Amino acid sequence: MTIITLPGLIDVHTHLRVPGGEHKEDFASGTAAALGGGITMILGMPNTSPPLTTPTVLQSARTQAAADSFCDVGLFAGASPEHVEYLPALAPNAVALKIYLNDTFGPLRVEDVPTLRACFQNWPQDKLIAMHAEKQSVAVGIGLAATYNRPVHFCHISRREEIELIADAKMRGLPVTCEVTPHHLFLNQADAARLGPLGDMRPLLGTPDDVAALWEHINSTVDCIATDHAPHTLAEKHSATPPPGVAGLETSLALMLTAVNGRPTMPQAKLSLDRLIELMHSNPRRIFNLPEQPDTYIEVDMQPYTIQNDQLHSKCGWTPFAGMQVNGRVQRVYLRGDCVYEQGKIMTARGSGQLIP
């Protein structure tokens, strides 16, 4: 048994479904799943029901997070045309602002220039703006970063044209960063056909050439690995109108460690362990300006194992990676010196996670 020690990982893109979708995930189940995946800090997305676009909804989600969470949690505020006037009031209680330019789960969307201008003018300069932007929307985001001379972070970049455009922007010195998900690195359109609704998410799985492009940029343009943990129940996924999204908190580290190891399922190593730590810990912390977690680390067993649905802590209870052989099972998680997770079991009380900010 080979055990390696890594810093507690940070996931900057998690859907926790509070309020309104607690049957899919809540702060207790979502933060338990995070610990199971070696993640000690998660940033929750605002496309809840109702969304985190008003101070009242954001505050009550924060109260629930403080009561229930096993790891540290920050929340995004959501941008919407109806509630732009709330942006200054939301900012002190949010880690960043999320703007949805393209279609996905839930109605939260910004499709007009006045709202975009209001976001870039009124969201505090020292807090990040993150965008769901696909295809030419990435160019819109880069244009806004240049126009207002402030950082923009692109969520779940999935296509060759997008990662190459971001590489161009970075080469010109523009303040843009991006994240990539393990499902866009490990699955493609053929898997989407095989998996049916369980392989449906936004952005859609790419072509083999899109996937190749993401790996080509893994040691350069890509700043973070983010899970985009987007749990939906199996009943919802098998319904007539399946919602897009797949779970990711409990499989992301193992998949990325498999890419470090170059076995058992990858022909060759794609990145170093140091680079994995940058992508899953140091860069997320720096880009989102997140607090340090002292004495926080994870112990991971590098023996190969098979991903199984019945070992998940997430309420959704399934993953598109079930049956896949990977390296790296989280054995123990230490948060601020305490062992909070050991061999599948949560060892700490609800509410022991801290709220950020």
Stretch that binds ligand NCD, among 81-89, 242-250, 261-269, 319-327 (CB under 6 A): 242-250
Sites for ligand NCD among residues 78-117 (CB under 6 A)? 104-105
With binding defined as CB under 6 A, does residue 134 bind ligand NCD?
Answer: no
With binding defined as CB under 6 A, does residue 329 bind ligand NCD?
Answer: no
Stretch that binds Zn ion, among 116-124, 143-151, 225-233, 258-266 (CB under 5 A): 225-233
Three-state DSSP state, 71: coil
| Distance from C-alpha of 257 to C-alpha of 331, rounded to nearest angstrom | 14
Instruction: Note whether 100 and 48 are within 8 A (CB).
Output: no
- The DSSP result for 147-186, as a single string, is HHT--EEE-S--SHHHHHHHHHHHHTT--EEEEE-HHHHH
Stretch that binds Zn ion, among 1-9, 158-166, 176-184, 228-236 (CB under 5 A): 228-236
| Distance from C-alpha of 245 to C-alpha of 230, rounded to nearest angstrom | 5
| Distance from C-alpha of 184 to C-alpha of 64, rounded to nearest angstrom | 31
Q: How far is the CB of 297 from Zn ion (least distance, A)?
A: 27
Q: Which is nearer to ligand NCD, 78 or 151 (CB)?
A: 78
With binding defined as CB under 6 A, does residue 250 bind ligand NCD?
Answer: no
| Distance from C-alpha of 274 to C-alpha of 272, rounded to nearest angstrom | 5
For the record, the structure tokens of 132 come out as: 């769901």
- Bridge partners, residue 132, by sequence: 100
Three-state DSSP state, 39: strand
First-last CA distance in the chain = 39
Binding mask 191-230 for ligand NCD (x = CB under 6 A): ----------xx-------------------------x-x
For the record, the structure tokens of 300 come out as: 């991971």
Put residue 2 in one of left, alpha, beta given phi > 0 → left and psi -120 to 50 → alpha.
Answer: beta
- Residue 201 contacts which entry, Zn ion, ligand NCD, none (Cβ below 5-8 A, type-dependent): ligand NCD
Cα separation values, 350 from 27, 29, 234, 357, Å? 9, 10, 26, 18
Residue choice 38, 44, 245, 248 for contact with ligand NCD (CB under 6 A): 245
With binding defined as CB under 5 A, does residue 250 bind Zn ion?
Answer: no
# binding residues, ligand NCD (CB under 6 A)? 12
Q: Which is nearer to ligand NCD, 229 or 332 (CB)?
A: 229
- Residue 202 contacts which entry, Zn ion, ligand NCD, none (Cβ below 5-8 A, type-dependent): ligand NCD
CA angle 233, 245, 195 (to 5 degrees): 80
For the record, the structure tokens of 347 come out as: 């060892």
CA angle 255, 258, 259 (to 5 degrees): 95
Stretch that binds Zn ion, among 171-179, 223-231, 258-266, 321-329 (CB under 5 A): 223-231
**Chain position whose Cβ is nearest to Zn ion:** 228
Residue choice 132, 217, 237, 329 for contact with ligand NCD (CB under 6 A): 132
Stretch that binds ligand NCD, among 3-11, 165-173, 238-246, 335-343 (CB under 6 A): 238-246
With binding defined as CB under 6 A, does residue 247 bind ligand NCD?
Answer: no
Q: How far is the CB of 214 from ligand NCD (least distance, A)?
A: 16
For the record, the structure tokens of 188 come out as: 């493609």
With binding defined as CB under 5 A, does residue 228 bind Zn ion?
Answer: yes
With binding defined as CB under 5 A, does residue 210 bind Zn ion?
Answer: no
Q: Report the interface residues with Zn ion, using CB under 5 A.
A: 228
Q: Report the interface residues with ligand NCD, using CB under 6 A.
A: 15, 47, 104-105, 132, 201-202, 228, 230, 243-245
